[in-house]
Each structure stands twice: as C-alpha cells, then as structure tokens.
C-alpha cells in the first residue's frame, strides 16, 4: 500500500498518461457471438392472414401454404428447418379450437368465413393439424385479430337484419363485405356506405354490441386453445405473436408512435388491450409472447419489411442453446457480459434458466465472482470466524479467500455484511481496492485508477443490478 503515500505523484502520473490510457483500458469490444439455435426439426405455423403471408398489394393464395417473404418463410430459412404452414386468412381462436377438439361446434355462422377453401376440405384437415402439432419442435401462433375485429361489419349487418331494419343497407353492406373479403379492412368502407345511406348513427349504436361479441370470443377461447396445443404436445416451444397497430405504414409512423401522438396511441391502446389474454397466458402456461409493436403495414397486413421485422423478433425470442438465461435478451446491453460470466463460470444464475439481471448485487456476490475468476483456489473456510456468514453457506470459502487476500474485510464486530447491496460507486471502489491488493505494480495501479475514474457515477448512491455488475466486472477483468 506504499503507493498511497505517493498519491500526489501518482495522480500527476495518471494525468500525464491520460492520452496513453486508452491503450491500458479494456480491449476492443467482444464480438457478439452468433446465436446457436436448437434443431427444432419441424416448425408449425398457426394463425390468420398475417401469419399466412397474405399481402395487400398483390393477391397471393396463402391458405395452408408457404408464402415467400412471409415471416414464417424467413424463420424457417434462418433456422434451416421444415415449415408446415397451417395458417389461413379469417381464422379465429374458434376455428382453431374446432379443428383441435372433437366436440367444439362453431354456431355463429362465421366458421371458416374468410377462407376460399371449401369448409369440408378444411374440416378434413383436422387430423393433419393435430398430428403436425404433436410432432412439432417449434410452433408460432399468430391469431386473434379476426376474433377482435374482422367480423364487425358482418355482425352489425346481422343484428340490423334480425331487427328488420334498413334492409337496403344490409344488402349493399353484405355485398361490399363479400367483395372486399375478410382479409381486407372493409370496416372503413362499411362505415362510409352507412354514412352515404344515412344510417351511420344506427350503425354506431350497434357497434358496442359487435365489439363485445369479438372481445368475448377472444377472451373466452384463448386459454382453451392454448391448452389444446399443449395437450397435443406438452414439450413444444410455443411462441405467440402479438397483435400490432396496422396504422403504422412507415418508419416515420414508428417514430410518431414513440412520440405518443394521439391517433396512433389510441390504436396501440386497443391493440394492447387485445394482447392482454396473450400476455397473461404466457405467465400461466410458460409460452413466449413476442411483442411486434412497430410492424410496418401496407393496408392491414405487413409489408415484406414488416414480415422481416416479425421474423427477427421471433428469432430474438428463441433461446440460445449455449446460453440458458431466458431473461437476458440476445443483443441487449448486458448480454455479452452475462454470457462471459456464464461461459467462464464466474457469476451463476438465480435459477437454471434465469439470471435476474435486475436483481440485487451484493458483497457476497462480488466475493464469489472474484474467487471464481481466481480459479477457486483451495482455502480453509474455517480459518476465519465470520459472525454473519454461516459455516454451511456455499459462499463462505469465497468470502474467506477475499478477506485473506486483503480484497475485503470484516467490520469491528466481525461482520461481513454478505447481503449488503453495492451502489455504483461502491462497486467501483471495491474493485479498485481489489486490483491494488492483487498487484501493486505501477502499471497495474495506473490501470486500476483508469478503471476507477471510468466507473465513478454521477448517481453514486444508485444500487447496482446483477446485469450492470456483470458489465462492470467484465470491464474490470479486462484492465
């Protein structure tokens, strides 16, 4: 510790060498390792027109077939696995339950309403649906939009007909809906027709009833549909693709949405509401919910760019076979640091599959990390009595080692404070002290000082999370 007696000279040297210190600092950023995916074998695509690859610019038949430049096409190619496309325009949760359950009739008059394939041919696919799901390694499910809104015009027309009202409007409205198809956003044209024919107030009065029908359908059928899938294949990797605001047409719209402009925000609020049962189901059943907010559309369906965006979100959500923590997103700010800690067995997860990056980082955790980095040398854990660390605590050897090495110490009462959480500055100072204790050579001290100055925070009392600690430790190990 004699260097501390020469603090003035040392500080001067530090300042003089400031221009050189970048050479002493951490090496170049670690390259982001290519993600390694599990070999899922077969990928089953379930869903509606968005999932099927339908587009608004040029009609492409997309019923139960692979569509080029759809998100499923991108995902299957990127993973190098077989795609079994079982998505169809117009599909709702009701249709999927009907195909996956033996006794689930759909009696609302809209069964397979949006499909060009005859109903009996779709009915005949039920065994194939069930077998494909049971044998799949990966399933993506993109469904719910038709439950929520695609049939609003039809429901309104049906209600008006039942009431014996406005038969001329009902006839023309049904012709319009049939012409534009369930894949298209016909509701705007439907409302324009109602306005032209002077019945818009009547249509608006029925709208809440129609909305309630759609909302009830989605909320009531979501969980049973998910249970059908897991009944057929309990171990499948299931990703649910969230709904998105179809009003996002350009990157500029994405930026506007981020700035919380009212029009887009209202649409996104509706979408968030519709995504509610999907997110709750992820907590209940353990599947992965994929948020695709910001998907760029033509009219109501994604562009090729939008499909690529969804595909990338799916690939981001899939786990890395060489990295077990599902709560650390690939490419996130602390991904590389956590991956380094995992690969080198320096910081362990809080469970086999969770790292808990937002959890607390304590003195005990630091002792364990430094002990692991040192190679876990043999140490007599009973050689030091620590009042607040039990003999059976798995961290005790690391704590004893850190004390013997002069890296850490006990207070005057003989306590270590194993669960004391570090602040940002507290961790920086602790690691600086560790560096000096390990090597008091001049160059090492300069490096340690550079690390200290680089990690001193303007928010000195802010607690350090496990994710941030991993990043700080990685910087420290590279000085």
What is the three-class DSSP state of 48?
Answer: coil
pLDDT of residue 160: 84
pLDDT at 459: 53
Q: What is the pLDDT of residue 398?
A: 96
Distance CA 384, CA 393 (A): 14
Rounded to whole angstroms, how far apart are CA atoms 33 and 189?
50
For position 4, what pLDDT does the model report? 41
- Selection from 290, 307, 285, 289 nearest residue 298 by Cα: 307
- CA–CA dist 329, 351 (Å, integer): 16
Alpha-carbon Rg for the chain in angstroms: 30
Are 43 and 76 a contacting pair, CB within 8 Å? Answer: yes
Query: What is the model's pLDDT at position 11?
Result: 46
In degrees to the nearest 10, what's the CA dihedral of 332, 333, 339, 345?
Answer: -140
**Tally of CB atoms within 10 A around 251:** 11
pLDDT of residue 252: 66
Write down the domain spans for the chain. 2-33+325-477, 42-151+215-317
Query: DSSP 3-state assignment of 241?
Result: strand
Q: What is the pLDDT of residue 2?
A: 42
Residue in 130, 72, 66, 141 with CA at minimum distance from that of residue 98: 130
Contact 271, 218 (CB under 8 A): no
Distance, CA of 210 to CA of 147 (rounded, Å) = 11
Query: Dmax of the chain from CA atoms?
Result: 98
Q: Judge whether 229 and 130 are in contact, CB under 8 Å.
A: no
**CA distances from residue 298 to 151, 251, 263, 303, 440 in whole angstroms, order as listed:** 20, 12, 17, 6, 64
Partners of 238 in the β-ladder: 139
Question: Which pTM value belongs to this model?
Answer: 0.70
Which residue from 138, 177, 452, 466 is spatially nearest to 317, judged by alpha carbons? Answer: 138
In this prediction, the residues of the chain whose per-residue pLDDT falls under 70 are: 1-32, 148-151, 180-188, 247-268, 438-460, 479
What distance in Å separates the CA atoms of residue 351 and residue 325, rounded to the nearest whole number? 9
CATH homologous superfamily, domain 42-151+215-317 = SGNH hydrolase (3.40.50.1110)
pLDDT at 449: 56
């Amino acid at each position: 510790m004699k260097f501390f007696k020469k603090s003035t000279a040392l500080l001067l040297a530090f300042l003089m060498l400031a221009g050189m210190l970048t050479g002493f600092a951490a090496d170049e950023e670690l390259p982001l390792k290519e993600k390694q995916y599990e070999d899922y074998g077969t990928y089953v695509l379930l869903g509606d027109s968005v999932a099927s690859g339908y587009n608004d610019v040029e009609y492409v038949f997309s019923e139960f077939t692979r569509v080029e430049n759809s998100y499923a096409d991108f995902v299957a190619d990127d993973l190098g696995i077989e795609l079994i496309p079982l998505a169809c325009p117009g599909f709702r949760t009701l249709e999927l339950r009907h195909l996956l359950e033996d006794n689930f009739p759909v009696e609302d008059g809209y069964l397979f309403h949006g499909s060009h394939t005859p109903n009996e041919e779709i009915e005949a696919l039920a065994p194939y649906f069930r077998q494909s799901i049971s044998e799949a390694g990966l399933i993506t499910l993109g469904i719910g939009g038709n439950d929520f809104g695609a049939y609003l015009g039809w429901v309104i027309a049906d209600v008006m007909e039942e009431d014996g009202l406005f038969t001329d409007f009902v006839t023309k409205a049904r012709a319009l809906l049939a012409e534009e198809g369930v894949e298209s956003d016909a509701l705007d044209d439907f409302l324009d027709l109602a306005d032209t024919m002077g019945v818009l107030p009547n249509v608006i009065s029925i709208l809440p009833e129609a909305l309630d029908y759609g909302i009830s359908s989605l909320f009531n059928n979501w969980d049973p549909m998910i249970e059908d899938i897991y009944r057929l294949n309990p171990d499948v990797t299931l990703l649910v693709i969230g709904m998105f605001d179809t009003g996002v047409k350009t990157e500029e719209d994405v930026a506007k949405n981020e700035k919380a402009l009212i029009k887009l925000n209202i649409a996104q609020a509706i979408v968030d509401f519709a995504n509610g049962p999907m997110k709750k189901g992820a907590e209940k059943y353990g599947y992965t919910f994929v948020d695709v907010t910001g998907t760029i559309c033509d009219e109501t369906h994604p562009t090729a760019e939008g499909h690529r965006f969804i595909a990338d979100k799916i690939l981001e959500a899939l786990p890395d076979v060489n990295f077990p923590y599902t709560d650390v997103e690939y490419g996130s700010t602390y991904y590389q640091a956590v991956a380094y800690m995992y690969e080198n067995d320096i910081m362990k997860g809080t469970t086999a599959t969770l790292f808990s990056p937002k959890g607390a980082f304590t003195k005990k955790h630091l002792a364990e990390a430094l002990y692991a980095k040192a190679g876990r040398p043999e140490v007599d854990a009973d050689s030091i009595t620590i009042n607040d660390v039990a003999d059976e605590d798995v961290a005790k050897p690391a704590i004893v080692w850190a004390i013997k090495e002069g890296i850490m110490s006990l207070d005057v009462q003989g306590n270590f404070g194993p669960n004391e959480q570090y602040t940002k500055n507290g961790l920086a100072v602790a690691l600086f002290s560790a560096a000096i204790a390990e090597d008091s050579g001049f160059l090492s001290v300069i490096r340690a000082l550079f690390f200290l100055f680089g990690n001193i925070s303007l928010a000195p009392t802010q607690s350090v999370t496990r994710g941030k600690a991993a990043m700080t430790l990685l910087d420290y190990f590279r000085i």
